Amino acid sequence: MGKRVDARPRISTPYHLMDRSNAWTWNAGGDRLPTYDDVVSDADSDELEIRSENERFEQSVQAFLASYQDQDGDRPAAQRRRGRRSGRGPGRPSLTEAEPRGDIKLRLAQVNRAFLNGDYNESERRIHEIIRINAETHQAWVTLATICEEQGRDTDALTAKLYASHLRPKDAEGWLGCAALALHIAGDDNQSPALKTAGTCFASAVLADPTSVKARLGRAEFNHRRGHLAKAIRDYIIVLERHPCDISVVRKLAEVCEASRSPEHVGKAVAAYQRYFSYLKTGALSDDLGLFWGDISIYVELLACVGDYSKAITEIGILARWLLRREDENIWEEWLEDDREWDLENTRRLEVPGFKPSHSPSLYGLGLPMELRARLGLYRLKLGDVEESKRHLSWLDPTESATAAAVEDFPGLIRDIADTLFDSGNVARALDYYELIRNSIYGEDPDLLLRLGRCHLANFDTGAAEDCFLLTIQVDEKNIDARIELARIYEQAKEGEEALILITEAIALRGAGNGVRRSGKSAAIPLAMPSNLDSPEDGHAGQKAGSGAVVRPRYRPKRLVAPDQRRQEEHKRADELSRKYQDVRNLKREIRHGARHLVSSWMAAAKDLVDDFRSFRRFYTWDKYVKYLGAADDMVLSTPLQTRGGHGNSELHELAERLSKNVATGTEARRDNPPPNDDGHRGIPFGDWLELFLDYAISLALCGRGEEAHQVCEAARDSIVFTDSKDYMFLIHVAWAACAVYLGDEEMCVAMARYFTKVHHLDSDSYRMFAALCRLCQSPASWYNSGPVQKYILRQIRLIDTTQLQRDPRESQVVGCNRNTATQDDRRNLDVCLLTLYGHILFTSTSYTFALNYFLRAKSLDPGNPMVNLSVGLGYVHHGLKRQSENRQYLIMQGLSCIFQYLASRSAGTEGERAAACYVLARVFHILGLHHLANSWYNRGLEDSVPETCGATSTRDTRCFTAFNKFLLLVTSGNLKDIDPLLSSSLLL
């Protein structure tokens, strides 16, 4: 990209010199012609410098324009008319970068001096000054990138390098430097934005220099890492066309082609290796042949990828004889019946016509590397030649230490041998190889554990199979096949409930991994995801489809062991959780003493305990238990079975439906509640369990993890251990309400408040709790005055009204004589609180007419209640201020009458109550525009309240609010002379 040049000089000429002496002219060649009075005094050195710089700048402009004219004159006229360009760039010629101006060079020198002195801050400041003057200074961006790299600011350095590279788009090395830094930032994260930036830089480097091998290899490696296999193969092929004997590129191409599994792509890798081997055969062999043996192994594996096992066996013989310097024995190229050429003894080799033992015996059986020996055994097994395969695999005895060492060298090949043996029905032999891999460093692979479990199952060892399947789920929580296999085992072992739980988890995971099918047809669970050659980030797209259904980890005890062993495991688990509970208590004690850094450790330990409690089937009903395992609501199995993934046509859903019916109708579905004397779980009392649940939920809420906090509270609420206790349920909902307040979740606040009004409908405090929770939640009043809430409260009022209307007057007199007076007072207060609450809900909805209806009903029940009078008064005032009000003066006078009643009732109260009443009345006058009256009552409130440092918190707040509103009143009314005394009194601080 060329430098943008402004036609005007950047340094302006002084105003007093802008006369005819500065009217410079140029000839056709761009030389300046002298004009009148073109000589300036020698004393004015600054002016001389400015004029000389302007002259040089104008000359550079003319030269730049002349270069454009020369380029345009070299092109044909037809291209000029059509706007075509002969440059390499897309629609832009390749321009020479303009040389920086003198002042830019001076600043760059200062930057370099500061950088060499180690003053990075000063150098960076000067660089930003250069960029502000001219952002297209390439050297400034390069130096800025260097400074950022020295300080460890890799992201800033990458940004600066990208700017510099865009200023020189034809500099391939600059783009490669950006790509290298981006790869360093990305690390092993394939989802990092820096990795995508590296791919863009490699592409720009290839565009700048299509012959750059480094750029093409970098882009190929990037595409391989991102899953764009076809693009990576294309770049590797281009590089090999120029360097056909570069073995490192050949190996990378083979790796990508093997991952693609496409016959077309594998054929290209095979051809590349054949060219490489042909090149090697033309020269002398070196003594170090280990590298070549590995290439032979890769080459024959490519042939095996496309199923050409016969050719792979033939190529092993040809290349091995060449490396062992026995290429003169041509008889083996015609002998394809077996692999007796690689026997340890000459017994079978002597039976071949034409064979003469002219070479050392070590060049036959012992000369073939163990890896190629294993491949011969595998390929013969694939072709069905069992006898010849046994001869080769006898060299790989699983009981020998040499074979264990071979697992470390080529574990994938040993795994392929075990899989092939298992598929061919040789279970015992496959089991030996599986166990060999299981005892190595590669033994935690979930695929291996699943295969090993199936192998034990085929060998009728259900106990070992259970261990393998449980370990598979522990290693890979999203494994579906292990759950299905376990479910089948448990169904046969009469553990139908656990089998149904596993099937439920499998269906939930299938919906999460492959997307929920809506066609009404079920399909079998795929054991492997189909590969797409050019799909980026293989394996990530499917996981996003149903990320909402995630199965939680849980403790899974072994069920096919002896009863005494099972009890031992339960005791061991209980002891472990008891120790963890003691750690939780100790951490909580230290946190209370100020060790806040231990909160994360406490939450991690508490999570393990809470998850263990939730995973205990005995404490939950079936539907609640399945829900807490993590299955989505539409995937919870019930009777009859209904799932969105299908209607029971597949084998999986048939198994699920059968188990569901057995559990629902059998004795397994009926679990007794814990007996009354059972006062704990894992040695911990239920009261302590509840305290742990609530503490953990509140901690999650304080950390902003609202969904998890609500799930923990819900789990405590639905447990049958706590359901029957009113005290436990009250504590759960109080903690749940606290979580909602901390999270600002108004919907949950209203839900908790409705619970209290529903359970304690004869208690006025429940309605006060409703208003308090909605007031504490700092969010809009959308749920407080929503339609469902209004309907719920109105139903409560109608219920009480119906009860009062149906009561017989004579019965009321009898009841009034026999019942406690406090109960009647509670009902009276209940009516007042309920009616006032509903009035406030309507009030916030600006339905003042309907709100006044309920406020007046409450006033008729309790005429002297100050809050009722205040509510009625505010309702009248706001209704009078509405544009649709018919008699505004009457409504306002009614409101002021009630507010003065409120003031009269508060006048006999405490000092804080009197100050609050004065503040309320002043605010009303302020709203009505009666500023002189409002100011008078503000002053009275300030006079009646105690100084800020002496009064209670509420009194100090009232005093602050009063002063602030008075300040606003004085500002809006223009009374500025009284503002200074108010500010000097420190009331607004």
Token representation of residue 540: 């990530």
Q: What is the pLDDT of residue 742?
A: 92
Q: What is the pLDDT of residue 413?
A: 92
Pick the most confident of 178-182, 626-630, 776-780: 178-182
Mean pLDDT lowest among 98-112, 142-156, 868-882: 98-112
Q: What is the pLDDT of residue 5?
A: 38
Res 175 pLDDT > 90? yes
CA nearest to 522, candidates 647, 633, 642, 656: 647
Q: Which domains does the chain have, with CATH numbers?
A: 15-76 (no CATH), 102-242 (1.25.40.10), 285-395 (no CATH), 415-471 (1.25.40), 477-526+547-554+641-667 (no CATH), 909-989 (no CATH)
User: How confident is residue 328, by pLDDT bands cut at 50, 70 and 90?
Assistant: confident
Token representation of residue 881: 């201020």
Q: How many CB atoms lie within 10 A of CB 97?
A: 13
H-helix segments, 666-763? 686-702, 706-718, 720-723, 726-743, 746-759
Res 982 pLDDT > 80? no
Instruction: Provide the CA 226 distance to its chain's centre, in angstroms.
Output: 19
* Bond before 640 cis per omega within 30 degrees: yes
Q: What percent of the chain has pLDDT over 70?
A: 77
Res 359 pLDDT > 80? yes
Q: What is the pLDDT of residue 899?
A: 92
CA atoms of 109 and 117, how far apart (whole Å): 12
User: How confident is residue 46, by pLDDT bands cut at 50, 70 and 90?
Assistant: low
Q: Buried b vs exposed e over 184-212: b needs ≥16 C-beta within 10 Å? A: ebbeeeeeeebbbbbbbbbbbbbbbbeeb
CA nearest to 131, candidates 154, 153, 88, 164: 164
CB of 979 closer than 8 Å to CB of 967: yes
Token representation of residue 192: 């990092």
The residue whose two tokens read 């934005």 is 193
CB of 608 closer than 8 Å to CB of 580: yes
Specify the long-range contacts of residues 930-937, CB closer than 8 Å, at least 24 apart. 931/969, 931/972, 931/973, 934/969, 935/966, 935/969, 935/970
Q: Buried b vs exposed e over 755-782: b needs ≥16 C-beta within 10 Å? A: bbbeebeebbebbbbbbebbeebeeeee
Quote the Cα angle for 286-291-297, to 5°.
Answer: 125
Res 495 pLDDT > 80? yes
Through-space distance between the first and last CA atoms of the chain, rounded to whole angstroms: 59
CB of 377 closer than 8 Å to CB of 338: no
Q: What is the pLDDT of residue 977?
A: 75
pLDDT in tens, 513-555: 554 443 333 333 232 333 333 444 444 433 333 333 467 778 8
H-helix segments, 306-385? 309-323, 331-334, 370-382
Res 466 pLDDT > 80? yes
Mean pLDDT within 652-668: 70
Q: What is the pLDDT of residue 10?
A: 37
Q: What are the Cα distances from residue 482, in Å, to 465, 510, 646, 967?
A: 10, 13, 21, 73
H-helix segments, 306-345? 309-323, 331-334
pLDDT in tens, 849-863: 899 999 999 998 888
* Bond before 674 cis per omega within 30 degrees: no
CA atoms of 534 and 524, how far apart (whole Å): 26
CA atoms of 463 and 559, how far apart (whole Å): 9
Cα dihedral 56/61/63/65 (nearest 10): -170
pLDDT in tens, 577-619: 889 899 999 999 999 888 888 999 999 999 989 988 988 888 8
pTM score, whole prediction: 0.67
CA atoms of 329 and 437, how far apart (whole Å): 38
User: How confident is residue 813, by pLDDT bands cut at 50, 70 and 90?
Assistant: very low
Q: What is the pLDDT of residue 672?
A: 45
CB of 833 closer than 8 Å to CB of 802: no
Res 249 pLDDT > 70? yes
Res 20 pLDDT > 50? no
Res 509 pLDDT > 50? yes
Res 313 pLDDT > 60? yes
Mean pLDDT lowest among 132-136, 169-173, 488-492, 733-737: 132-136
pLDDT in tens, 394-450: 999 888 888 888 888 899 999 999 999 999 999 999 999 999 999 988 888 999 999
CB of 147 closer than 8 Å to CB of 128: no
Mean pLDDT within 262-268: 92
Q: How many CB atoms lie within 10 A of CB 354?
A: 10
User: How confident is residue 84, by pLDDT bands cut at 50, 70 and 90?
Assistant: very low
User: How confident is residue 623, by pLDDT bands cut at 50, 70 and 90?
Assistant: confident
**Between 368 and 652, residue with greater pLDDT:** 368
Res 47 pLDDT > 50? yes
**Between 329 and 980, residue with greater pLDDT:** 329
Mean pLDDT within 473-481: 90
Q: What is the pLDDT of residue 526?
A: 30
| Consecutive H or E run containing 685 | strand 684-685
